[in-house]
A = this chain, B = another copy of it.
Amino acid sequence: MKRLTILSTTALLSISLVGGAFAAGMKPEQQIETRQAGYKFMAWNMHKIKANLSGNFKQQQVQKAADAIAGIANSGMGALYGPGTDKAVNGVETRVKPELFTNKKEAGKVARDFIDAANNLAEVAAMGDEAEVKQAFGALGESCKACHKQFRQDD
């Protein structure tokens, strides 16, 4: 738990330092499409966990879904919010609010909270207690909503 927490709280710093390299050569529209791909794939895995918590709980399925979410969450998505990605570009839409690019302190906080919650869910899922998974899953959902509320349009 401790190692993961340390990693996750430094992740955003890493992003800001090496963001350029992570998104090297990518056009703004490619960055938007790639971050949206990450969110879409995480959403699918969130739905799978939700279905497991609403029905027959299959620990291995839940663990795999949680690992996918944590893997994506930790991959440095901040690099995909480069210059020119704050609004629609070349036909690629985005729902991001401009505030994400100006309020970097708050953006960093919600991102760290999200990464921490994703890592916690992955750890709890590996242990396999359904009640703990339910709690960790709820916390992850809250961290998603916290960001959407502040930084996504129509939320």
Contacts and interface: CB of A to CB of B under 8 A. Distances in A.
Interface of A: 11, 14, 18, 21-22, 24, 33-34, 36-38, 40-41, 44-45, 48, 51, 58, 60-61, 64-65, 67-72, 74-76, 80
30 contacts: A11-B64, A14-B60, A14-B61, A18-B58, A18-B61, A21-B61, A24-B51, A33-B40, A34-B41, A34-B44, A36-B37, A37-B37, A37-B38, A37-B40, A37-B41, A37-B44, A41-B75, A48-B76, A61-B76, A65-B76, A67-B71, A67-B74, A67-B75, A68-B72, A68-B75, A69-B71, A70-B71, A71-B71, A71-B72, A72-B72
Contact of A64 (B64, B68, B75): B75
A48 B37 CA distance: 16
A7 B48 CA distance: 19
A65 B74 CA distance: 8
A78 to B, nearest CB: 12
Contacts of A22: 48, 61
Nearest to A31: B44
A39 to B, nearest CB: 8
A136 to B, nearest CB: 16
Contacts of A44: 34, 37, 80
A45 B14 contact: no
A1 to B, nearest CB: 17
